[in-house]
Amino acid sequence: MTARLDLSADPVELTAALVDVPSVSEQESDLADAVEKALRTQAPHLEVVRNGAAVLARTNLGRDSRVLLAGHLDTVPINDNLPSHRTGSGDEEILHGCGTVDMKGGDAVMLGIAASLTEPRHDLSFVFYDCEEIAADRNGLNRIERELPEWLTADLAVVCEPSNASIEAGCQGTMRVEVRTHGQRAHSARAWMGENAIHAAEPVLRRLLDYTPRQPEIDGLTYREGLQAVRIEGGVAGNVVPDSCVVTVNHRFAPDTSEAAAEAHLREVFAGFDVTVVDVSGGALPGLAEPATAELVTAAGGRPVAKLGWTDVARFAAHGMPAVNFGPGSPSLAHTQQEHVHTADVRHCADVLRRFLV
């Protein structure tokens, strides 16, 4: 039986209702069914489309501009943290449970706005998608881009991922490379007859230790780059000098750097070594000078901050639109057993977006 969602409810109540419908990646269908049914029955002013385990809705009012709000329906695996429960009261009330932060609080904010704003000053698009928490090639936005690309066009995209209820503008790019060293096998009792590939990786680690990352300022925001070894593999057996070693390095680069420039930089850093790019996703410029972004920043109050990490804002920025992260909850709590959101954050995000859109 499909769960019933009341889109007119307080956004905290709606968050709890969403959390209590389990939706681990690739198992989002029950929640997608509930979201689709709620939008079709409680928001008749919206055009609603189902695409796999994603649900899309939009207004078609002929406004001069369009704002897109996006949120994923899936969560990481449940870790003995369902059903939801609350502690505290008033401004100190906290909602606990898998997905409260990442990112059903943001989904609840989106759903409440979708149902209640029948005459927004911008046309609105809402994208509730699947499989964000697993491999990037499974992300539901890929399928939507292939099959319904017109649904991902707007003048501003707001991804309601947790951002401590403040505007996080743009995002860093990320690249993983494998730096490989080579040697020659030999019996460890006669090590002088071989060449140890693990020992040969010492200069790679030294370059990482000596590396000074950039901290460029873009639109008044500081992006802290990073270069870290995240894995090392080598060795054949306990009595064999290894002939191969691979150091996997993750580079977080500022959005003023292209993927090609990031790759060229890493090849320069590790000159003389065999370098293979295994994964890359470009960043997104903050776009704070864009009128729609500036209006949202004003509505949110406070000062925007740089997003130090990669999110799906980069997918929207690749389409030429400014994109920001804005949602309730602390990113540091995402994916933890202790995941929880302050209910005041959920209501604050709903109030800010409503103020921006009406």
Chain region(s) in the chain for CATH 3.40.630.10: 11-170+284-357
pLDDT for residue 136: 83
Type and span of the H or E element at 228: strand 226-234
pLDDT digits (tens, 9 = 90+) for 142-165: 999 999 999 999 999 999 999 999
On the CB side of 179, CA atoms within 13 Å amount to 30
pLDDT above 80 (res 355): yes
- Domain 173-281: give its CATH architecture: 2-Layer Sandwich (3.30)
Model-level pTM? 0.87
Mean pLDDT of 162-190: 95
pLDDT digits (tens, 9 = 90+) for 309-340: 888 999 999 888 889 999 999 999 999 999 99
State phi, psi for 212 to the nearest 5 degrees.
-110, 110
With contact defined as beta carbons under 8 Å apart, do 97 and 166 qualify?
Answer: no
Q: How far is the C-alpha of 98 from the C-alpha of 24, rounded, in Å?
A: 10
Active site residues: 74, 132
pLDDT for residue 276: 98
With contact defined as beta carbons under 8 Å apart, do 165 and 97 qualify?
Answer: no
pLDDT digits (tens, 9 = 90+) for 70-101: 999 999 999 999 999 999 998 899 999 999 99
Kindly state the DSSP code that residue 104 receives in the 8-state scheme. Answer: I
Average pLDDT over the chain, rounded to an integer: 95
Amino acid symbol at 272: G
With contact defined as beta carbons under 8 Å apart, do 203 and 271 qualify?
Answer: no
pLDDT digits (tens, 9 = 90+) for 119-142: 999 999 999 999 999 988 899 999
Chain region(s) in the chain for CATH 3.30.70.360: 173-281
355 by Cβ neighbours in 10 Å (0-12 / 13-18 / 19+) ranks as middle
Q: What is the CATH number of domain 11-170+284-357?
A: 3.40.630.10
